[in-house]
A = this chain, B = another copy of it.
Amino acid sequence: MRADGRSADALRPVEMLPGWTSTAAGSVLMKQGRTWVLATVSVEPRVPRWRVRSGRGWLTASYNLLPGATAVWTPRDRGGANGRTHEIERLVGRSLRAAIDVDRLPELTLHVDCDVLQADGGTRTAAVTAGWLALALALGPLGAAGRVPADLLCQQVAAVSVGIVDGRPMLDLSYDEDVRAETDMNAVMTHDGGFVELQGTAERRVAFSRADLDALVALADAGARSLMAVQTEVLDGVEPSPVRAALP
């Protein structure tokens, strides 16, 4: 049994609150245990320099840890994003661009901004999962208003962390588990069990084996399916939902 009483293959309690703030086009406050991420989607009528006058838009993601979100205070990224932040932002951006047909996006930028209000492990995967839901919530009205194609969203995406802790494969690591893990892996998956991203890292010189990889991938698959079920339930509660219809 784990410190919080979970079995090795259990997710922490998950809550996704759609429309939590009202300023952005889409907004979700996601709680996964004590990891809380606020994801918002905003539309900016400009594109990065290399897309100007291309007739095509872009989706970009940002990630930020609030200074008080961790037990040890985190300074703000005022001197530029640090390496970890850059790495996460690139992961979230690639994952969410895989969910839409980005080449059919008109010349505007979709900003998916993820702020971690409270951190207890798994913040980057929560950012992907919450970001996808905020995106789906935003695309409904944007599609209805004709600002983007109605069927822009083409697949469902969610992410989980898995790892090997004290020699045992486990799903959805808390911060304490993550610190002790020998292997740490993040999987971004689609509704049909495909991988959008898979990133595994051996910690402390203990390389992981093919058998470890198989066990971790199986846990990730089950975890991602559960998270997608929650995403779907939220979307089903929002009316009318042109986006929901667009999904397989």
A41 CB-CB contact with B under 8 Å: yes
A68 touching B80, Cβ below 8 Å: no
Residue of B nearest to A38 (CB): B117
Question: How many monomers of this chain does the complex have?
Answer: 6
A21 to B, closest residue via Cβ: B118
In chain B, what residue has the closest Cβ to A221? B210
**Could you tell me if B200 and A210 are in contact, using CB atoms closer than 8 angstroms?**
no
Contact (Cβ within 8 A) A200 B202: no
Q: Decide if A225 is an interface residue (CB 8 Å cutoff).
A: no
Residue of B nearest to A192 (CB): B207
Interface string of A74-99 (1 = CB under 8 A from B): 00111111111011011000100011
> Which single member of B111, B118, B196, B207 contacts A190 (CB below 8 Å)?
B207
User: Roughly how many angstroms separate A146 CA and B69 CA in the complex, as a whole number?
Assistant: 24
Prevailing SS type, chain A contact patch: mixed
Which positions 174-214 of chain A face chain B at CB distance < 8 Å?
189-190, 192-202, 205, 207-210, 213
Contact-size category for A = 35 or more
B residues less than 8 Å from A111 (CB atoms): 67-68, 73
A190 and B27 CA atoms in complex are apart in Å by 37
Given contacts A34-B22, A118-B21, A119-B23, contact A202 B195 (CB under 8 A): yes
Nearest Cβ on chain B to A58's Cβ, whole angstroms: 13
Q: Are A98 and B205 in contact (CB under 8 A)?
A: yes
CB neighbours of A201 from chain B (8 A): 94, 196-197
Chain B's closest residue to A90 (CB) is B83
* 8 intermolecular pairs with C-beta atoms under 8 Å apart: A21-B118, A42-B73, A64-B66, A77-B78, A195-B208, A197-B199, A197-B200, A197-B201
Further pairs besides A64-B66, A79-B80: 6, Cβ < 8 Å: A21-B69, A23-B34, A42-B67, A87-B87, A194-B207, A196-B207
